[in-house]
Amino acid sequence: MKSKVKKLTNSFRLSIFQKYLTISVSIILICMIALGITMLIFVANYWEEEKKENLIENANQVASVIVAASDYNSINRTLIVEDPELFTITISTIAQSVDADIFVVNNKGIFEYCSEQGTCTHQDKILSSDILGSTAGGNFFEFGTLDGYYEDTHYTAGVPIIASEAGLSEIVAFCYVSTRSSFVSGLTMSMMRIFLTAAIITLLVSFVFVGILSYNMAKPLRQMSNAAKKFAVGDFSARVTATGDNEVGELALAFNHMADSLTASEGMRRSFIANVSHELKTPMTTIAGFVDGMLDGTIPPERHKHYMKIVSLEVKRLSRLVQSMLSLSRIDNGELKLNKQEFEMFSVIVNVLAGFEQKISEKNIEIRGLEDFRKLKVDADPDLMHQVIYNLIENAVKFTNENGYISFGVVQTKYDISVAIENSGPGIPPEDIRFVFDRFYKTDKSRSMDKKGMGLGLFITRSIMRLHGGYIFVESEPDKYCRFTFKLPTIMKQYEKPQSAKYIETTANTDGEDK
């Protein structure tokens, strides 16, 4: 049932392309309709105003002709036309020229003269007193049937006919000019046809162009949707074609950058799993082999103690690996928090060196520069800084040559404290120096010197320094020395990292670590 509902929902769902096209065409259609209605109203009002002025002007002219061609009978209070036949011909001519009916009624609304020679529709009708009153008050204009005077709608204008005698003026009749509204209806229909033709052409052109635009705008989104589906199944090879300098183009570029990041992350994940598997497999294989040898008698009892020491070292190696993995997990999850407090750097360095005293003595390593640290206090997380110092000293002791040296240096300014740990020895090859902070990276590929290292120390060190707002970089000259320098800020400041450093940790292509 749910699948049927989902299919039905999908069948009614519009794509972005369809929505954009529908909305755009609808807006254009609404605008065209609004424009058409506005234009028709404007033209109708303009035509009506023009018609009103024209009909009133013609009515005034006819009224002037009537007054000029008539004598006023003051007793009967009427106008007497001297030549009715000539008068009828005159107003008929005027009516034909303006395409209208012209008729005259007396002050009681009774028909007197008409432009229609012979029998006409007006002679048996009487205008209402309301229309006569409106006309007597000035110019009269109406669009309608003239209170039933006509069967269909007309534009009608009327003016009073005023006679004067002995300085007195009196309304003796009314002249009306009327024309059918069929011309206006025809004009309206003609304009409507023209408008509809133009609207249809405009809509078709708009539909094509908006359709192309909508398709091109939605294309990157469709590509992103398809690419996202591939990402969901582990295929990160898909990319989106980024076109146009707009928001969609920026989104496509950001999507491609995300895809590149996912690809790199997936590569790192696989490399991480492979490295962890290898690091776990090696000591476990060694432990299992020696334990099985002791159990099945392959290793004689007198050699058990020797091989148990090896097993103990491998167990400690596994413990360090697990601890490093836990630190790595805390870093990746953002769970590594600072607990800042003021402490002496000298005591931390001395305590770490004490842990390597035996190895330092075996190699006859000279320790230099500690006198500069006796009064050095820093504001940082003491536990995390202990781990930083431990990782750097461990690497230095491991790779320092026989009768070599480990040198400590410090430079303190008002903005930061720089601590350098340098050791003599083979150094780091130029082709490897940019990778020393990568996870599981080791410069000693043969592991002849770095048998216990897991390639995580320097990565963790770099992460700790970033957490403190500082940074770490390395300088090395093959067969001479290797120097790691880290900086701790004393106040918030944007650092300008030294250009002389051969490698600065933030330039690494991939996340990583230790020699």
Residue 449: the pLDDT is: 45
Q: What is the pLDDT of residue 75?
A: 62
Question: How far is C-alpha 440 from the geometric centre of its chain's CA atoms?
Answer: 40
Quote the pLDDT of residue 373.
80
Report d(CA 104, CA 87) in Å as an integer.
11
Residue 76 burial class via C-beta count within 10 angstroms: exposed 0-12, middle 13-18, buried 19 and up? exposed
Residue 493's pLDDT is 41
Q: What is the pLDDT of residue 421?
A: 94
Q: Report CA dihedral (282, 288, 291, 297) to the nearest 10 degrees.
A: -110
Q: What is the pLDDT of residues 78-132, one digit of tens each?
A: 667 667 777 777 778 888 877 788 888 887 888 877 877 666 767 777 888 888 8
- Number of neighbours of residue 41 by Cβ within 10 angstroms: 10
What pLDDT, on a 0 to 100 scale, did the predictor assign at position 60? 85
Q: What's the confidence (pLDDT) of residue 514?
A: 39
Question: What was the pLDDT predicted at 206?
Answer: 80
Residue 507: the pLDDT is: 33
* Residue 24, amino acid: S
Q: CB-hemisphere CA count at 13 Å for 511? A: 18
Report the pLDDT value the prediction gives residue 513, as an integer from 0 to 100.
Answer: 36
Instruction: Report the pLDDT value the prediction gives residue 429, as an integer from 0 to 100.
Output: 86
> Which segments of the chain have a pLDDT < 50?
1-2, 4-12, 445-453, 492-515
pLDDT at 485: 94
- Give the list of residues 6+ apart from residue 33 with CB closer than 8 angstroms, or none: none
Residue-wise pLDDT tens digits, 219-240: 777 788 888 888 888 787 888 7
CB contact at 8 A, 346 and 311? no
CA dist 146 and 124 (Å) reads 15
Cα separation of 87 and 69, whole Å?
8
Give the 3-state secondary structure of residue 476.
Answer: strand
